[in-house]
Every structure is written in structure tokens, then in C-alpha cells.
Structure 1
Amino acid sequence: MIETTTTERPREIAAIDLGSNSFHMVVARVVGQGLQIVSRHKQRVRLGAGLDAQNNLDNASITRGVECLAMFSERLKGFDPENVRVAATHTLRQAANAHVFLKRAETVFPYPIEVIPGEEEARLIYLGVSHTQPGEGKRLIVDIGGGSTELVIGSEFEPSQLTSKHMGCVSYNQRYFQKGKITPKNFAAAELSAEGKLESIAQNYIKKGWDSAVGSSGTIKAIKEVIISMGFDDGEITKKRLELIIEKLLVFKYVDEIKLPGLPEERIPVFAAGVAILSGVFRALKIEKMVFSDAALREGLLYEMEDRFQHSDIRGRTAGDLASRYHVDLEHAARVQLMASDLYAQCEPNPSTKKAELGVLLNWAALLHEVGLSISHSGFHKHSAYILQNTNLPGFNQEQQTVLVSLTRFHRKSLKLHEMPELVLFKPKQLHPLIRAIRLACVLNVQRTDEPLPDVTLDADDKDWTLTFPSGWLSDNRLLAADLETEQDYWTSAGWSLSIAEAISDDIESEKDQ
């Protein structure tokens, strides 16, 4: 008899990068302690070219993007949502009507799209390069995209400097090479603009220093290919070789006339703008040479998706660092966190994937709701929201950061829910139970004592919540009972209802029986 053994099929994961020029998808298998790339897919969508003067995407660019996602979804049939991560970058960060694109995408693409902040994009790019590029020591990583350029310094897997600048090959092409014209004057203007945008960080980066410089993504890859075709087999990008490319570029009067050995046809429209940006970066940071890395944002998404790389730990470290920086009372925050989590679990006993994610965000918000106390007690919930809105939070995408801001902003005082920012991945009503939970957790812990709170039972529906306390507890805690009455008034003004009740004591129950 022949024995057969069955082995578990390797987990497959996919990462998609919705860039300003192209959409990229990479699919990988988790094999042992590493990732094995299975397939790569790329579509030139030119999303950034569809932004008008009011930062609205035109219908044609939205349609191109949605059609690309429909194609990608064919490859992803059978993939569970937790095995697919999609990050949108500069153009959807900037687009005033990004919600229109995201709503249309939902009709053909069943996976959530995260719009990530620039510094989060920089962190993920660093993660992708550091996991795949050999070498030791401190690295400077430069990634020139269609709408933004990310610059990171770090060692091993830890970035120490993160910057995202609003300069990309698509946006610079539109601004400096209008009607496709190339002249020494407009090229120099683009180069000088890129150098100027780095003026505020240049000295700090140069002082920090690096052992090697690495470039990633399409622009730098195209420059490397041209350099190899010029006879430099190592493909290293140096200041002198960049100058040679610029000389060759300035021979052409129009972008569509550019013909350089090694330059892919699809890169021709934005090549001059990309070279100008990289030249400005070299000049501003005094870079001598740079090598190319095939890995970038999408590889960073892949490596962070796999459980063993502990994405949740990154968010925990982010929240912990922020709490430490603003001297948060961690014992009090933990009590609020525990009560808020308990109340949310009672109102959502069987949460969907999205609601479970919101529950996790509620925990981070409870930990950080008092960061604004370091500024002033008066209106500290607004100070907390401002800090969270304007701080780089590694591990959190743009919408998750907005949820944290909303929960801290509305955790006390008046409920001006009309001021809640618009969300795409979550519906505003999905945040209401979290706001109620964190508010009640703060009220119940207002005395900031180590005395344990009683078991509180919650009966909840969309608008009406009833809290039931043990018999006699509220009469023994009159100050807290008064605070709950004040909270009831806040809820009423928001169109919600909060009822406070006490459980019937055993003595009363026995009297009824008699």
C-alpha cells in the first residue's frame, strides 16, 4: 500500500499600489520564513493626469482606474479580504472627489482600499526595500512616484527619518513640460523646484548621514535602464551619469520625440520630469551614487500583511510612543480602554470584519484620548483630536487616523456630529456605538480611582442605550450619577437616548414572591 501525504496549501497574499501613474499588483505565497512572488501585474492608468485645478478627478481617469481594478479582481477570485491589501497614494490623497472613485470601485472590486498618508507610504516603501535589498548599515531610500517623492533614512527594518514631498513625475510633467515642450529653461526650473522642496529637510538628512543610497519605483528604474544602455553595466546612478542623461534629453524639443536606448516607451511621457526630480534630489542631499531596488510600496504591504511581521505591533508601538511623549496617565487610559471595549462588545456581540476593526481602533483611541491634556485641560478633547490629526502615525492609514481623531474629538462635551469628517471605508453610523462607548467609559472612570467598577449591563439598539447598575450602587455614588445625568442631556441633543437603571435587589424579588 502506498502512503500519501497531504500538505497544506501555502497561503497566498496580494498587495496593490494605486499610484498616480500606474496601478501595480503583486501576488505572493508565504513559504516557510519568506515570501515567494507568484505574479506581478501593472497597468498604466495615469490617474494623476485626471486632476483638475480644483483637485477633482475627471470621469475619464476614474473610469480607467475602475476598469483596472475590475481586471485585478479577476486575478483575485477566491482571495479572502484579509489576504489582500490595497493602498492608494498621492492622487487619491489629494483628490477632493476621492470618495466618488472609491464608491465606483466598490461595484467591481470587493476589497477595501486604504488611502495612506505620505509618511505612511514612506514607511511601507522602506519596509519593502529593507526586506529585499541586500546590504548593511544606514540607508537612504528615495522613491519618485507620479505625484509624490518619499525619502527615508533607516537601519535594518527601522526607519528613523520619513518624508513625503509633493513632487512627482506626473505632476511635474504637467507643470514644467506643458504641451510636451522640453527646453533648458523649463528643465532647470523643474530641477530647481525639486531641490527647493527639499531645502527644509536637507541639512537634517545630510547630518544624519547614510552608508548607501537606494532608489525604487518606475522613474529610477527607467533611469537605471538608460544608464545600462549607455554602457555602464553596473547600472549605478551617479551625478555624472545623470548629467549625461540630461544632455541627451535636452537634444529633444518635445517629450514625445524622446528616444533613448533602454527607455521603455511607457515611461517616455514622464521621463524628463522624473530625471529633473532625481537630479534635484541628488543636488539637495549631495548624493554621490545610488543603486536601484525592485521592491517598493507593494512589497512593504506584503511583508507587513504576513502575521509574523506583526502589523498590530507597529500600531501598538506608535500609540505607546505617542502616549509617552504626551505623558498620558496609562493606568487611567487602561481603565477607560477596558470599559469602552466591554461596552462595545455588549452592543456588538458578533461583529463583522469592519466592526471588529473599529473595535481595535476604539482601543487605540481610548489609550490616546488624553494626549491633549498636555496642552490644556480646557477643551482638551479638541487638543487631542488636533494632535492625532497632525501627527504621523505609522501603521494607521488615512481613514483609520480619521476614526481616531473623531473618537477623541467626541469623547466628551457636546456632540456636534455634523462636524464629523466624511469617511469612505466606514459609515458614520458605524462610529456612533464607539463614540457612545468611549464617552460612557470616560464618565464611569472620571474619579480616576483604583476602586473596581461594578458589572454594568448594556441593552442597546441604534439610538437607545440602557445601562443597568447593581442595586443601590448609584445612590452610593451620587456624584457619578449626576455626571451620568449630564451625559444624558448631551445624548438627547444628538438625537440619542441614554437610560440609567438599577437591577432589582434580591430582597425586593423575595418580597414580590411572597
Structure 2
Amino acid sequence: MRFAVIDLGTNTFHLLIAESTPKNLKVLFKTNVPVKLGEGKINDNQIIPKAFERGINTLKNFSKIISKYEVDTIRATATSAVRSAENGKEFVLAAQNEANISIEIISGDEEASLIYEGVKLSGAIKDCSLIMDIGGGSVEFILCDSEKLIWKKSYNIGAARLMQQYFKSDPISNEEKNLILAKVQNELLDLFEVCEKYQPNVLIGSAGAFETFAELIIKKHNYLVNISEAKTYNFNFDEYIEITLKLINSTHTERAAMPGLIPLRVDMCVIAALLANYTMGRLKINQLILSTYDLKMGVLASLL
């Protein structure tokens, strides 16, 4: 059996094609495209025309690739940008009519569950852990241990939302940082309450921005690690703090010149660093693990 998974994120559309045999699961193809569906008006709940067009054109290309691989089953999931957009259903209809791809808009709760299933497959969950997935539109938190999911929630404080609302200076000003952190603190009160009870001692970063942090560290120190082939990566906490503080305090031009930083994340990574650092500081966590398996692998697991 061949499966295609399409993850329509707020910033990036992902396509993963895998083949299942009785003995194993083999990834045949994967790609991602920086569609930036949340560009411009995500906080106004609108997919702007340019982003709408980019999204449909990307799905048309994905459809051609899927046909070439003679896939048996396709599951396409849309998250925060489509979920919250007033014209999200129009986008779903256009995808069906123009790209022959049927999109399922999933809730934040379903998104968190699928992220958990994906991360679980990576083998990253050993102790009581907090999974964090920083998307463009939303951020998901999942409290879990090696045996079960304990608690989960999706928050509308994604990097694209916060960036469009607050990030106007270059480099980001202290005032803007304080406004972002005040917003985050106010949103995450129930997260801190549940973590007070369960005391997670590890933060597991689900792909995305955390892959960027890992790439920057690997490039800086010339480590012999290939993130694209790894399931997990254990951060040295001091190296992590050093690179994220550098990102937060750098100008756009300085960040753009950093080896390992893709154009899509040049500004978004500042917000992601603020979010992750605030969460770890507030919860007194100093162990950080990257899981390269995320929602896509969770969706694949659901198909299997």
C-alpha cells in the first residue's frame, strides 16, 4: 500500500509519500513548500488572494507527484490558517475542484493528538515530557509520559500571528518582546497549572523551528549530524540558549546570513525562540530534545 500525507500548515505545505509492506514502512518521497498561507491577514481571518493562489498551485503540483507514485490512499489535513479563515472553506473547495485533493480541516485538539502520535514514533518520549509544536497559526502543547498522553491543548499564538501583530522593529525591540511575552503568559495559564501538577522535566520540540535551531547549532560547530536523516536530536542546553539569544538580538540581515537558516524562518524564528525560551524558563526545564517526526508522521500512523 502507498500512502500520501499532505499537511497544509500556515507557513509550509508538506507532502510525504510512503509505502507500507508487512515488514516495514519506507518513505519514498518528501518535500515542503513555503506557501505562506497566513501572509498578511492571518489575524483578520483571511487568506489573501496571492497566498490563496500559491496554495492551490502547490496542491496542483502535489497532485501530479502523487499520480506519478500511484498512491492508494491520500489524507490532506489543514490546520490553523484554513481553520480560522473566513474563506477557508472556499480554499478547500478550490483544492477539490482544481487539484483533485480533498482537504480535511482538523481542530486544534485533533492536531495536538496527531502531533503526539508522530512524536511517539520518533522514540523521543522517555520521561514525563512536554511536547511543543510551534506553527505559524497555532502552538500545540502535549503533556505525556512514555506510556500515555496526559493533557493537550492548541493555542492561537502561532509565530505568524504574533509576528504580524507585534514584530515591527529591526532587531525586535524590548517593548515588542514584552508585549509578546505578556500575551503568551496570559494565554498559557492553564498549561502552567497542569505542568505544576505533573512537573515535566523535558521539552520535546516537534520539528519546524526546533529543526532550524538544531541546524544552526550543527552548522556553527561543524557537528557530523544530518537532521534530515535523524529521528531525534538532543540539544546541548547552553548551545541552544546561545543560538536563540543570538537570533533574538540580530537584525534581519544578520540572521539571513546565518548558515542553516532557511529564508522562510529568518524572522519567524525570533518569535519561535521567544516562545520556546519563555516556556522553558517558566517551567524550569533545561532539557530539550528535537523530534523530527511531527503531525505528518502522526497522520501516516493513523492511516496505517
Does residue 26 in structure 1 map to residue 7 in structure 2?
A: no
The verdict on how the C-alpha distance between 1:151 and 1:293 changes in structure 2, with shifts beyond 3 A counting, is: same
The aligned runs of 1:498-513 (5 Å cut-off) are none
CA deviation map 1:235-273 (0-9, x unaligned): 6446644442344235434x2442333323332131111
The aligned runs of 1:324-473 (5 Å cut-off) are none
Q: Tell me the distance in 1 between the aligned counterparts of 2:67 and 2:154.
A: 34
CA deviation map 1:297-340 (0-9, x unaligned): 0110001111xxxxxxxxxxxxxxxxxxxxxxxxxxxxxxxxxx
CA contact (8 A) 2:124 2:289 kept: no
Name which of 113, 124, 134 aligns with 1:123: 113
1:346 alignment partner in structure 2: none
Q: Tell me the distance in 1 between the aligned counterparts of 2:243 and 2:150.
A: 32
Larger Rg: 1
Q: Tell me the distance in 1 between the aligned counterparts of 2:245 and 2:33.
A: 30
1:166 alignment partner in structure 2: 156
CA contact (8 A) 1:129 1:295 kept: yes
CA deviation map 1:47-91 (0-9, x unaligned): 011435531211111101001100100011177886111110011
2:2 alignment partner in structure 1: 12
The aligned runs of 1:203-352 (5 Å cut-off) are 203-210=193-200, 212-231=202-221, 233=223, 236-237=234-235, 240-253=238-251, 255-258=252-255, 259-306=257-304
Bigger share in strand = 2
Aligned residue identity for 1:62: F
Query: With CA pairs under 8 Å and 6+ residues apart, which has the higher RCO, 1 or 2?
Result: 2
Point out where structure 2 has 5 or more consecutive residues left out of the alignment: 226-232
Which stretch shows the higher mean deviation, 137-146 or 97-106? 137-146
CA contact (8 A) 2:133 2:140 kept: yes
CA deviation map 1:334-372 (0-9, x unaligned): xxxxxxxxxxxxxxxxxxxxxxxxxxxxxxxxxxxxxxx
Aligned residue identity for 1:144: I
The verdict on how the C-alpha distance between 1:18 and 1:245 changes in structure 2, with shifts beyond 3 A counting, is: same
Does residue 186 in structure 1 map to residue 209 in structure 2?
A: no
2:93 alignment partner in structure 1: 103
Aligned residue identity for 2:66: L
Q: TM-score, normalised by structure 1?
A: 0.53
Q: Tell me the distance in 1 between the aligned counterparts of 2:17 and 2:34.
A: 18
SS at match of 1:108: helix
Instruction: Give the superposed CA RMSD.
Output: 2.5
Aligned residue identity for 2:215: E
CA deviation map 1:24-57 (0-9, x unaligned): 0111111225421111110000001143553121
Q: Tell me the distance in 2 between the aligned counterparts of 1:53 and 1:84.
A: 30
Q: TM-score, normalised by structure 2?
A: 0.87
Number of aligned residue pairs: 295
Q: Tell me the distance in 2 between the aligned counterparts of 1:305 and 1:181.
A: 44
The verdict on how the C-alpha distance between 1:250 and 1:225 changes in structure 2, with shifts beyond 3 A counting, is: same
Q: Tell me the distance in 2 between the aligned counterparts of 1:157 and 1:116.
A: 25
The verdict on how the C-alpha distance between 1:36 and 1:260 changes in structure 2, with shifts beyond 3 A counting, is: same
CA deviation map 1:358-412 (0-9, x unaligned): xxxxxxxxxxxxxxxxxxxxxxxxxxxxxxxxxxxxxxxxxxxxxxxxxxxxxxx
Which stretch shows the higher mean deviation, 70-79 or 116-125? 70-79
The verdict on how the C-alpha distance between 1:37 and 1:305 changes in structure 2, with shifts beyond 3 A counting, is: same
The verdict on how the C-alpha distance between 1:184 and 1:54 changes in structure 2, with shifts beyond 3 A counting, is: closer
Superposition deviation, residue 107 in structure 1: 2.0
Superposition deviation, residue 208 in structure 1: 1.5
Point out where structure 1 has 5 or more consecutive residues left out of the alignment: 1-10, 307-514
Q: Tell me the distance in 1 between the aligned counterparts of 2:15 and 2:53.
A: 18
Aligned residue identity for 1:66: I
Aligned residue identity for 1:214: I
- Report % sequence identity: 26
